[in-house]
Structure 1
Amino acid sequence: MRVSPDQFERITQGLPQMGRDPASIRQRVEAMEAVLERVFVIPGINRPVGLDSIVGLVPVVGDIVTAAMGAWIVWEARNLGMSKFQLARMAANVGIDTLLGAVPIAGDLFDFLYRSNTKNLRIIKRHLDKHHPSTVTIEG
């Protein structure tokens, strides 16, 4: 059963953060970045880590899963109409994270230190702040 764009819009209006508008996309991307990079805090050093570092400990499968989640952020950026240059930078961030994160042991340390999804969120926020100023949120 196919859903027309009008039907999709009516369905998503009733669901929080499911719209195609820039504000909804911003909320989804911010939530995904938080899950991937800052969901837990390591006691003692007070360093936030996320699923990117944790799932990345599982050889091959973990890196593929986190790469797919990072690629989803790039896909959402494409839906915002961001430039090809910005999308290429974001894809490069995910690619670097995936390739170097796949190296045993050293890659796990790299995942812990290199936050590609945070870098990509920063690129998206700059775009949204410039082109869709109504989506700006106050961070405290």
Structure 2
Amino acid sequence: MADKTSRMNPPPFGDFATAYTGRDPAAVRKRIEAMEHLLEGLFVIPGINRRVGLDVILDLIPVGGDAIGAAMGAWMVWEARNLGMSKTQMARMFGNVGVDFVLGLIPFVGAIPDFLFRSNTRNLRIIKRHLDKHHPATAVIEGR
């Protein structure tokens, strides 16, 4: 009877909730990709076809915006730690977040290097390499 009831009343968010909340590598990959998209690629600037996200927008808020962006980037590194990535890889990722933070501290002009450096995209690349090597079942074939 319980099985029949659970099939009739699926969870309110369906597969979305289970896909993004687990500790398994596939769920971590989805969360990190979603965070990178939020920080680096929310929309495209017309004319130059360059993606921009919350990270560049937060740079327009002096100091506080950079701190929020760095905290969100550090969350990605924390997720990498949960995957069992090496301390060297995590140090490199923290270095990327640190460079992004320091460059962003320059008022208003700091958005330009942040627009070009893209620490979160670099960190996503490091995490994907680790996942592809140690958890190949989580790999996603992307078409363009």
Question: TM above 0.5, one fold?
Answer: yes
1:113 aligns with 2:122: no
1:33 aligns with 2:41: no
Instruction: State the alpha-carbon separation in 1 of the partners of residues 101 and 58 from structure 2.
Output: 12
Query: Match of 1:58?
Result: 61
**Over 4 Å off, 4+ runs:** none
1:97 Cα deviation from its structure 2 partner:
0.2
**Structure 1 residue ranges without an equivalent (≥5):** 1-13
Task: Give the alignment's Cα RMSD to 1 decimal.
Answer: 1.3
Task: Report which of the two structures shows the higher radius of gyration computed on alpha carbons.
Answer: 2
1:104 aligns with 2:107: yes
- Is the contact made by 2:40 and 2:54 (CA closer than 8 Å) also made in structure 1? yes
Instruction: State the alpha-carbon separation in 1 of the partners of residues 96 and 115 from structure 2.
Output: 14
1:116 Cα deviation from its structure 2 partner:
0.2
Query: Match of 1:18?
Result: 21
**Secondary structure of 1:111's aligned partner:** helix
May I ask how many residue pairs the two structures share in their alignment? 128
**Structure 2 residue ranges without an equivalent (≥5):** 1-14
Query: Match of 2:94?
Result: 91
User: What is the percentage of aligned positions where both structures have the same residue?
Assistant: 67
TM-score when normalising by structure 1 = 0.88
TM-score when normalising by structure 2 = 0.86
Instruction: State the alpha-carbon separation in 2 of the partners of residues 88 and 106 from structure 1.
Output: 27
